[in-house]
Amino acid sequence: MTKTIITAFLCFATLLGMDTINIQADTIYTSQPDSEDKYYQPFEDSFNQFNEDLQLNSNENTITSLSMEPKKFNTVNYYYPDIWIRDVAPVITTRMVKFDYSPSYLKKSDSRYLNRQFKKFLRGRYNYSNSKLKLDGGNVQWNGSDTVVVTKQILTDNSKWSKKEIIAELKYQLKVKHVIIISKEPGDVLGHSDGMVKFISARKMYINDFSYEPGFLKKIKNQILSIEPKMKFVVLPSSYTDKGQYDKKIASARGLYINMLETTSTIYFPQYGLKNDMRAMKIVQSNTNKKVVPVDVSEISTLGGSVHCLTWEVPNKFNK
């Protein structure tokens, strides 16, 4: 009788669209560059406003920023001089794994420093494992169960590893059964998957419409279906524009709606002041029972990332 009731409830929940990923996020981190940093200084007001908006709209998580300077929002007194906290931070599935942060788009001296600095922050705070595989956090999408998606950037960055060895390491470290490797977007030096796809549930995902790359949507769909033939797709419109791109080497992320942050009961959704902002948000609202909070990243995104790139969520179960 109990089994019948549980089965009926699960079927009813699926009909209501409740088959979403159960993402635990007790603490959300961002990071603040030094106000004297000449590269980031023009965006200081935007960084501050982003953090204020994020913390103001959170009713479920502790949101805090790594900063040595006093702010109007909640901070942790720690120096980490880069805003893209996602990439250096450990990847979290049922385990927390710190991969080697050594991206090809950064000087080795810079990546070594940022890697060491963030490991100092982790020490004494969290329980995690280490892997020698080179991998940015922004290049991993987890379905909340048995599958991760990464781009072929992982093959380029780990040229001394075979594809078979890379897949085996990811399966072992992240405790998953399936690793889907997709092509990275042409011209994207970062090679991150978090601007391309995002899981809604174990076998359903948002996918960028790649309207600026004819034929690319079909290519990525086919690569995913070759590993997971039951995958369903919800295409998110893109308003991608390189207008205002800040760094000549790093493509702007303005207009990439898929780069959202999802937590236990909230989705923090990027807004760019573009015509598709509301249309894209309504699509996400129709596919979740969670609260969808719009977050303005119109200026910050010209640096090359968006909401997901700027944040890192951690369940309390990994606390020391």
- pLDDT per residue as tens digits for the range 75-115: 999 999 999 999 999 999 999 999 999 998 999 999 999 99
19 pLDDT band, cuts 50/70/90, is low
User: Pick the residue with more confidence: 6 or 220?
Assistant: 220
CB of 28 closer than 8 Å to CB of 61: yes
| Average pLDDT over all residues of the chain | 92
Q: Residues 6 or more apart from 98 whose CB is under 8 A from it?
A: 89, 90, 119, 122, 128, 129, 130, 131
3-state helix/strand/coil string of 138-169: HHCEECCCCEEEEECHHHHHCCCCCHHHHHHH
CA distance 212 to 115: 34
CA distance 210 to 220: 10
pTM for this prediction: 0.92
Q: Apex CA 30: angle with CA 260 and CA 240, to 5°?
A: 35
Percent of residues, the chain, with pLDDT higher than 70: 93
Q: Which of 2-6, 238-242, 283-287 has the lowest mean pLDDT?
A: 2-6
Domain 24-318, CATH among 3.75.10.10, 3.40.250.10, 2.115.10.20, 1.25.40.20: 3.75.10.10
**116-151, pLDDT tens digit by residue?**
999 999 999 999 999 999 999 999 999 999 999 999
Task: Tell me what pLDDT residue 28 has.
Answer: 95
39-42 contacts at long range (C-beta below 8 A, 24 or more positions apart): 40/83
